[in-house]
Structure 1
Amino acid sequence: MKPWVQNPARQGLAYEDIVLIHPDGLRLHGWWLPAQTEQVAGTVYFLHGNAQNISTHLMNVAWLPAQGYQVFLIDYRGYGLSEGKAKLPDTLDDIQLGLDWLQASGRVQGPLVVFGQSLGASMTIPVLAREQNAGRFDCAMFEAGFTGFRHITRDVMQRSWLLWPFSFVVAPMVTTRWDPVDHIAALAPAPVLILHSREDSIIPFAEGERLYAAAAEPKEFQGLLGAHIVASQDPSVRQRLVQFMTQRCDAQSASAAD
């Protein structure tokens, strides 16, 4: 979706527009949300799901500044104010560009936490697994991710009576090169938290279980309830995320510093 629904100011948040220039010339847009506390607890790099844009997905991280976390969230090409057309593998490079900017900006304070939801989770995993990104983040949280692009394409198409006949032609054409299930183990030794709702009607709960099984230690799994990627609206789930960040991510950051 291109139009915005809101900006962070409508949620009472201070923010800064960030424009990144991709090597191919495209302009990618994001928001920087500063922490609302005197001491910064950490930095969260947020990658959103398939639908809409950062103006709607903002609500999944709007609570973090009050907890002491500064947040950077971007729109992939074709979303919101970001130019271009969304397609693989170019969107993976958009995620990489955001990570590179964070590292070069000097803004990272505390542990760097990468938080991806749904498509954002599944695209981010192979990016973080790149050799060049080893040691560049302290931990990762993935909610409602899927295991493979071909697999999820077939699954979604076969749920529709209109698309079902085409699934046998389209799905085999989808590459498996960036399937997160094949890359997630490479994120170690950074701690990983996998979250997935048992009631998710978009990405089946079993997908989260398979991702967790493929991940290497240290790892944690958190089952959730409710619809697709709405769990972070629940105060108890927010507490669980903060717990992971303060315990696992802080420890990893301190270990890396040593």
Structure 2
Amino acid sequence: MDALLILFSQPSTWVALVSLIVMEIVLGIDNLVFISILTNKLPEGQRARARRLGIGLALVFRLVLLAGIAWVVQLDQPFMEIFSQPLSIKDLILIAGGLFLVWKATTEIHHNVDPHGDNDVFDSPASMAFGAVIAQILLLDLVFSIDSIITAVGMTNHLPIMIVAVVVAVGVMLLAATPLANFVQANPTVVMLALGFLLMIGMTLIAEGLGAHVPKGYIYAAMAFSALVEGLNMLRRRRVKSKSEG
């Protein structure tokens, strides 16, 4: 207890904590967008419960990984090579998660572009079973959690700081989940933009798993710029609609 008091009495601890909270929230955006899109496919009465469960599982994964922090660090160690490219367990998880995100985003984009098309391998039902949604959230929670915790390990050596940052970040995700999901549901063009984000994130995960470092700043800058353009389009549509109704 005394050690914790000494740790949190230092200004450097609070700087590290705030920095890590911001980083964890930014990294959680990907997870939150995916959860919002998936849960909106459920009947309305099940959506809030699925979001809470999905985000709760994300917290559980992160805390379990923090408890096994020594094992998590070892995930970065290469254990095999493919075409002279060393791969670690983390790399394989990122590649698998990236492939899943690319597949999922592609199927959802196909369904949104041609919702009444013939049944094919890309066909996606208008609504999904609760268990299927949770299973998909569970898979991506694992991928994003490993990325999140390895990032935390790179920013600080103090486990209490990591735990506080993760809990606060997941709490913010929990508060933002329903407003974000409602916003996405109410704006169909935002759905397509969010699916484009997921496609880009999936390709980025695959690239990182194969050893190509993609600076996160570029990814989030592109997402922010796209969101700004979409916001301007939404503002224009509202003004045009208000003028026509007036």
**Fold match (TM-score > 0.5):** no
User: Which structure's residues are more often helix, by fraction?
Assistant: 2
Higher relative contact order (CA 8 A, sep 6+): 2
TM superposition score category, shorter chain reference: under 0.3
Question: Which structure has the larger Rg over C-alpha atoms?
Answer: 2
User: Which structure's residues are more often strand, by fraction?
Assistant: 1
